Each structure stands twice: as structure tokens, then as C-alpha cells.
Structure 1
Amino acid sequence: MTTTLVRAQVAHSVVDASFLAREVAERYSVKGPVTGLLLYRGMNDVYIIQTADTRYALRVWRKDYRDADEVSYELNFLDYLRQRGFPASTPIHARDGSLYFKLDAPEGERAVALYDWAEGTKFGNCLNVDTAHRMGALFAKMHLLGLEYAGPKHVFTTENAVRFQVTVPALLDFTYDRPDDRRDYEIISRTLPQRLQDIQGPDMPIGICHCDFHPSNIHVTEDGSMTFLDFDGLGEDYMMQDVQNFVWGNLFYGFSPSYGEAFEAGYDTVRPFSAQEKESKELFLLAKAFRLVAGMAHSSNSVGRGTLRFQGMDWLSDYIKSRARPLGLL
């Protein structure tokens, strides 16, 4: 009996590290030999690239609902931050001047970029209130540089702030066995975007934001130097949303609220919060939680339920609903 093989549809492939090392050696001005090692596989895949004298990080973006060339938004902004001396892990220019290249993977085009290596350890591994305060001040500086980069004529919108609506259908499917969550999340998916659009105004500034800043997305060295990293969610958003993303991430990891409070205090010394921003903290904390669970659901076909290793669906459900009700969103 002859068995007919069916060609599988691939959601998320793993690119061979040696292949990527060869591509880097061919495309970039680096000293050989060049070796590669898969560091972790997640929302995007990250590799260690070691040359004769330098270590780099190489990111291979996951194929998702965005076009592969959208990475240019992040990379061009990071290149600007490098020029302005901001401490971020920034992309390396290839010999032809480009900041990224694309691979024809089984699931479709995937973008690839080589970055400076971020020295130190994650803030979550070296928690310190003074460090959090300095971090907040630097984060505010990044927001101001974003305004500078965009220019005075640029009109910021809430399009990216409500883009999570694309992931809601996956969330409703994800909660098939949780009928109460499915019902309530469907309601919030309508009311939350409208609220986020309604609060626009001069006292609720929008800018270029990291959009996923948390205690693992900054490295700190022993002498206190910092490097911001993982800007793959970069986009226009409320600046206060970006701040509350860190506050919420600190809670998600189970750390003391003092680090989030210090982060806010440091930020406020560089770009003072408006009264309306302060009044909207709970809204933005809710928005972060809802975005996360919806994004997690959308990505689960590629990366599984890995995000749940810190907090489970019960915790997330309680967090979201306990804030949605007082805000009149549920």
C-alpha cells in the first residue's frame, strides 16, 4: 500500500542557526568565523550571532497579520535613537545600507535584522527602586525623541491603539470553554476601543511608543547602565498607555508595586503627566491586560500558551473584569 504524503501548512517554522550565520557573514561587514545559536523561540525568534570579535542578537520575526516590511517602522526609529545617543539595542546596517532582509519561509515572508547585543541582565533579575526611577526618566526622554522624530506636522492617531481588535476573534475562539469570559470579552471588545478613541485630546498626548515595555525588556549592567530592547510592538499610542504597560507588567511578574511607582515618578520628572492622564490609569491598565490576552490567543497557533507561565486565565479574567465594570465598559 502506497501512502500519499500531504504537504503540511506551517504556522511557525524554526530557521536553522547555521544558515542564518552564513547569511550574516555574506550580508554584513563582520569578522569571521560567524556562528549562530538559537537563543529562544517565541513571539519572534532570537538568535545569538558570534563573530570573531563581537556578539550580536538576530531577530527573525514571526509571520503574522502584519506585512513583513512593517518592521522598517521600528528599525528606522531605532536607528534615529542611535543617532541621538539613546541607550537602545539598535539595528546594524548591512553592507548595502539596509537594516533588514527577508526570508522565504514555509509560512511566508519573514523579516530578519541584526542588533547590537544588550549587555547586562533583565531588570526583573536586579530589581531596584532607584534604577526604576532612572528608567522612567529615560523612557520619557524616548517619548520626547519620538515626537522629535515624527516632526511637528505629523498627526498622531489612535489606529494602533485599537489595532488589537484584529485579535479579538481569536480570543473568542480561545475561550470556547469559558462561556462567561467569552460573553464579557465580546462586550469589552466593543466598548474599550470606543473609549480609547473618545479620550483623545490635547491633555492625552499620543506619540511613538514601545507598546510592550516591561521588566524583561530592559537590560541593566552592574554599573547601572541600561539598554532598552524588544521594540517589535512599536507604534503610535497614548504615552500614558506606554507607561502603564510597564506598571502592569511589573504586577504581572508578581513584583512589588514600588518599582512601577518609582518608574512613574522618574518619568514625571522629564515629561510631567497631565491631570487627565493620571485619571486614566485604570483604563490603560485594563487595556494592557485585554491586549495581552487577545494577542496571546491570536499567537497561540504559532507559539502556544507560553504567556500563561506567570499568570493564568483565571487571574487575567478577574483582573480585566474587575476594572471593566467600574469603568462602565462591562
Structure 2
Amino acid sequence: MTVPDSAPDGSRVLGAALPASALVAAALVAVNWAGLFATGRLDEVTGGVAVSALSGWLLSTASFVPFLAAVLLVVVAPSRRTVAGGVAVVYVADLLLVVVRSVLSPLPVRSWLPVLAVPLTRVAAVLAVATAAWIAYHGGYDRVASALGNPDQHPLFAVVAGDRIGPDLTVRRGAAAAGLGAVVAAGGAVVAGLLGDLLAAVARAGATGSESIFFTRGQFWNVGIPLSQLPAEWLFEASFLLGVLFVIGPRLRPRDLTKGVAVVLVVQSTAQLLPALLPPVRPVSLWSPTGPVLGPLVDAVVLAGVATAVWLAVHGGAEAVRSLVSADSTIP
């Protein structure tokens, strides 16, 4: 895959990111409602079911549009300018969303300082996708291999085979790209958590009243992860990024998406089931939002959204949809 001379047209990127985000949001709302139904927590829903589902879909769609647009930019036209632009768009959009949700919440927020750390996890996710795509398809692997020596002789690269697992993607190249990209994503999530805690501490130190209510971790979005979760987060991010590499190559086939989704589901479900299988045995809730059933579905759905956006923007999907709509409109 060669690097284009310029970034793709903005309207084309937005035209691909918007429908893909709407589909991702609809699927995630369905997953969320399935979890509520499976755990008998439907009584926790406030307001009407239709209103709750619609508002959740709209907010989720608004959240994913800038993310998928940024992903398209960094995988189709990777450059410092497109990466910086994608990161800026994601940070500003997520910051605006969390501020709006905070304002609409019945709980007052007396300090907005910790809110600044909320978008950093998704910013790290965009940087991780850019890193993995650069290593796998845009010359990064060769530069890393040159810096470390002959990849056929260096232990870091020689432990895995050079067999192809996708178009222009070998096991060695995919493992290196997904692994290093996961370092960026998981490390960024840890940094976001530490910065969020630091900003919250600064806000509390400057508070003048004992009853002040602050924006806290988990109120709307989780602010990063603690350091103890770094190994598991790295594994989850690596599986997701390997799936992304399957669908952003020079060709996109149904079996590439199937392989990517399978990697995400198998790796993440197995990892989340291990506490119940290995001593010391700990109970695992199958139907919790982060359990071995529903948890991996989130990344699988987002991966399908990335594939949809790439298909629409790069592989003629938009033209195919327009042709289909035009053909349907001419049928008497």
C-alpha cells in the first residue's frame, strides 16, 4: 500500500464515518439492552424504553463520528498533519460531549478540571491505530527492523513466522504492528487515568466547601485505567488492532472482517474467562458489561464499524450504495 499524496476529501470521510457510526451505535445500544435484559436490570432504565434507546443511539453516534473519521484519516493518508488533525478532532469532540452530558446531568459539577483528561483514552486509541497502520503498511516495519537488525536473525522477529494472514500482511508484520500499537493504546489509557486522578486531586485541594461535587471517574466515561490493568489492556488492544489491520489493507474481503472479529472474540473472551478457570478461582459474571460475553462484543462492533467506514470511503462502498439506491428508485 502506498501513501497518498494528500488526505482524502473531507466530505467523503464524513460521508463514510456518519453511516458507519450510526450502525455501530445501533449495535452497541442493542448489546447494552441485551445486557440489561440478561441480568434483570431493566428496572434501572429511567424514562421510556424508546426514549432511552433513541437518546443512547444519538449520543453514541455523535461520539463515534469523529473517532471513525480520524481512523480513516490516519490509515488512508498517514502523515504528521493527518494524525495531528485526527487527534485534535477526537479530543475536542469528546470533550464537548462530556461537557454536554455533565451539564444535562442532575448532579452539579463544581470543578471542570478533571474533565480535561476524559478524551485522552480515545486519543490514545487513534494514535495506536495510526502506529499499527504505519508499521504494517506504510514502511514503519522496515524502519523498526533496520534499527533492530536483520529481522530474520533478530529474536524479536524470528520467533514468529512470515506466513501471510491477510493481503500484504504477514504474521511477523501483524504481530509487530499490533503489539507496538497496543503499547501506545494501553500506555495512553494508563496516562489518562493518572492525569485524571491528578487533576481531581488538584481540584479537591482548591475546593472551598466540603459538599462540592466533582467530576469523578466512571460518572459518564471512564477516565483511563489503573496501572494494575495494563497487561490485560495491552492484550485486548493488541487483539483489536490486529483485527483493524485485517480490514484496512489494500483489499477488503468478507473473510478479512470475519478473521478480525474472530481474533477479538476469541482472545478477549478467553482472557476474561481465565479467572474462573485457573487458581485462585474467582467468579466471573458472564453477562456483565465487561464480561466474557458482552465485553468482547463492543470491540467486535467497533471493528465492524471501522471496516464499514473503510469500505465506504476507500473500496467503492459509497458508489455501490448510491447505485443500489438509484436502481431501487427506478423500479416501478
Shorter chain as denominator, the TM-score bin is: under 0.3
TM-score by length of 1: 0.27
TM-score by length of 2: 0.27
Bigger RCO of structures 1 and 2 (CA < 8 A, at least 6 apart)? 2
Instruction: Compare the two structures and name the one with the higher helix fraction.
Output: 2
